Amino acid sequence: MRIRYFLAETVNNLRRNALMAIAATSTVAISLLLLGGVQILGMIVGNITDGWEARIEISGYLRSNATSGEVRDLEADLAQMPEVEEVIYVSERQALEEYRSDFEDDPALYEGLRVGDLPASLRIALTDARYTEEVATRIEGAPGLDDVEFGGGLVRRLLQVNSLLRSITFVLSVILMVAAAALIANTIRLGIYARRDEIGIMKLVGATNWFIRIPFMLEGLVAAFAGALIAVGIVAGANAVLFSRIGDAVPILSSAFSFSTEEMVTMLGALIGVGALVGLVGSAMAMRRFLEV
């Protein structure tokens, strides 16, 4: 009977305040959508860099006058390092052949090249991309070695851009969520104002403060929860419909846009949790100065 009363009052409040409730609900939805977008962006970048990191290797270019002894010592040193997975010797001839096959369609690029124009090198595969810089500096300047190159710069820059983007969007979505909480608080306050006579009588006849509060708090929670459901629906829908199509249309992106069900569910659950939190905070804001007598 009490639960029915609370639910009926909550529905009444929402109906009376429909416009404010819609504003609050959509603000929650937008802020959570933004938050969800940030998470997805992070997941995409994670997927991309995962693939790249696996392919990162160090190229140690050898001097043309390097002795075979120097090369053997270097190979032995590298083989001892725990971070090194594999060392492959690429001769001047092999280098030229690889170059030719890379630019097969454009003979002008390799026509004048002869064996010896491209240096021989050691190709070093690592157990983890994290050690790239460390290993590269360690072998730099070794006898017989001319130059050390690695592709880590691009990965690092991508991760930096990603984290900057995430910080900006995160701050933005936090601001939006504060706005959402304030809107929810305002919705509730309007409801309280519209029903001040009833509340006055409730206090007069001895209704407890919680009895008076609960319908209003439920109102805030329902508004926030509805917003969270909208955001989750859009994200899940995009995942089901849009992302798989992107993968089909642009095969190179298919691994970037494929997310495990587990990480998707965790993320959507977190969005709902944050939405409920926003609703609670908004309600608490509205109740703080309310019902003191």
CB under 8 A: which stretch of 36-44, 69-77, 93-101, 209-217 binds other proteins? 209-217
Our CB check for other proteins shows the closer of 10 and 25 to be 10
Report the nearest approach of other proteins to the CB of residue 236 (Å). 41
Residues 125-144 that bind other proteins (CB under 8 A): none
Our CB check for other proteins shows the closer of 193 and 211 to be 211
Report the nearest approach of other proteins to the CB of residue 265 (Å). 40
Our CB check for other proteins shows the closer of 201 and 250 to be 201
Q: Are 14 and 219 in contact (CB under 8 A)?
A: yes
3-state secondary structure 34-56: HHHHHHHHHHHHHHHHHHHHHHC
Our CB check for other proteins shows the closer of 48 and 291 to be 291
Report the nearest approach of other proteins to the CB of residue 293 (Å). 6
**Pick from 163, 208, 244, 266: which binds other proteins (CB under 8 A)?**
208
Token code pair at residue 23: 């504003």
Helix axes 68-80, 132-139, angle to 10 degrees: 150
Amino acid symbol at 209 = N
Rounded CA-CA distance 269/230 in Å is 13
Q: List phi, psi (to 5°) of 225.
A: -65, -40
Task: Sketch the per residue contact string, 165 through 204, with other proteins: x for CB under 8 A, - otherwise.
Answer: --------------------------------xx-xxxxx
Helix axes 152-194, 261-287, angle to 10 degrees: 40
CB under 8 A: which stretch of 1-9, 32-40, 66-74, 256-264 binds other proteins? 1-9
Report the nearest approach of other proteins to the CB of residue 203 (Å). 7
* Through-space distance between the first and last CA atoms of the chain, rounded to whole angstroms: 26
Q: Are 266 and 184 in contact (CB under 8 A)?
A: no
Rounded CA-CA distance 59/132 in Å is 11
Asked if 207 touches other proteins (CB under 8 A), the answer is yes
Asked if 107 touches other proteins (CB under 8 A), the answer is no
Q: What is the CA radius of gyration of the chain?
A: 31
Where on the chain is the footprint of other proteins (CB under 8 A)?
1-2, 5, 197-198, 200-209, 211-212, 293
